[in-house]
Amino acid sequence: MKEYKHYFTPLFFSLVISILAYIFNAKISNTIETLRINSLLFTYSTTVFGLILTAYGIFFALAPLLRKDIIKSKDINAVNKYFYVCLLFLLFQVISSVALLFYSNIFVLIVNIFLFTFTITMFFYIIKGIKAIFNLIVNED
């Protein structure tokens, strides 16, 4: 359970935002129809998925250049997991945003809001992990 503790904060934050979205669904539905956010969510999710996948590929393509102790550190492993979870949830968001394009329902929208907030909060963990890895690299003797 301890290895999954980093996912509780994004999960909690996403659930709170989703519950608030459900409570204020009439106002949100009106805003979505006015601003045509359905297509924006699809564009966002596909663009961010591609960018995160590219960043993940570049980051770990450079990993063999690091010392063995840095490669085997818990920070590299944590960043790998954060990238993987973020990509997985972004893939779910791409799928649910396509569903929102064709089936405009408040529950599909709330799923999109949940996935959006979860991936945004995962970015903080990815950035924190990359900073920790950078500190390991800079402090090498």
In this predicted model, what pLDDT tens digit does every residue of 112-125 receive, in sequence order? 989 999 999 999 98
Average pLDDT over residues 73-87: 88
Average pLDDT, the chain: 85
What pLDDT does residue 109 have?
86
Which residue type is seen at 130?
I
From residue 87, give the alpha-carbon distance in Å to each of 10, 26, 46, 99, 109: 14, 31, 11, 18, 19
Which residue type is seen at 115?
L
From residue 24, give the alpha-carbon distance in Å to each of 4, 11, 17, 71, 110: 31, 20, 10, 46, 11
What pLDDT does residue 42 have?
85
Domain parsing of the chain, residue ranges: 2-136
Regarding pTM above 0.85, the answer is no
Of the listed ranges 22-31, 52-61, 70-79, 90-99, the one predicted with least confidence: 22-31
pLDDT at 1 over 50: no
pLDDT at 30 over 80: no
Of the listed ranges 22-31, 49-58, 75-84, 113-122, the one predicted with least confidence: 22-31
What pLDDT does residue 3 have?
67
Show the tokens assigned to 1: 């359970």
